[in-house]
Amino acid sequence: MTYKGYAMHYAYMTSMIKHMEPSCFDEAIGKHVWEKAMDEEMDALVRNDTWELVPLPSEKNVIGCKWVFKVKCNSYGSIERHKARLVAKGYAQTQGLETMRKHLAELPRWPQ
């Protein structure tokens, strides 16, 4: 690697370290850029009708969610934007009857 290449790499890595991303909601709250990113994500979810609130049936469990934070940089290493995503904790789901029914319905039907 040439010195020029090393200098560019060093500058990029330094900028990445300087712009640390929160690992949880508690680390992000109180910081204006992350609160703005969370507001933008919530606005997009509402605008796109991502979900609708319904009563929880007694036999069902709630699947939680969490915030994921990313600093998006351009090719020069400077910050392009702060991005927050609200994601479902899908790993908390347990495979059951509904999952089986869904997969059985997706199987191809062979001609008789």
Question: What pLDDT was estimated at residue 69?
Answer: 95
**Given pLDDT bands bounded at 50, 70 and 90, which one contains residue 26?**
very high
Residues 20-31, mean pLDDT to the nearest whole number: 91
Mean of the per-residue pLDDT values of the chain: 78
Q: Taking 70 as the threshold, does the pLDDT of residue 94 lie above it?
A: no
Q: Is residue 112 part of a domain?
A: no
Residue 9 belongs to domain spanning: 3-51+58-106
Q: Is residue 111 part of a domain?
A: no
Q: Is residue 102 part of a domain?
A: yes
For residues 56-88, one letter each, b for 16 or more C-beta atoms within 10 angstroms of the residue's C-beta and e for the rest, the string is eeeeeeeeeeebebebeeeeebeeeebbbeeee
**Given pLDDT bands bounded at 50, 70 and 90, which one contains residue 70?**
very high
Q: Is residue 97 part of a domain?
A: yes
In the chain, the number of structural domains is 1
**Given pLDDT bands bounded at 50, 70 and 90, which one contains residue 32?**
very high
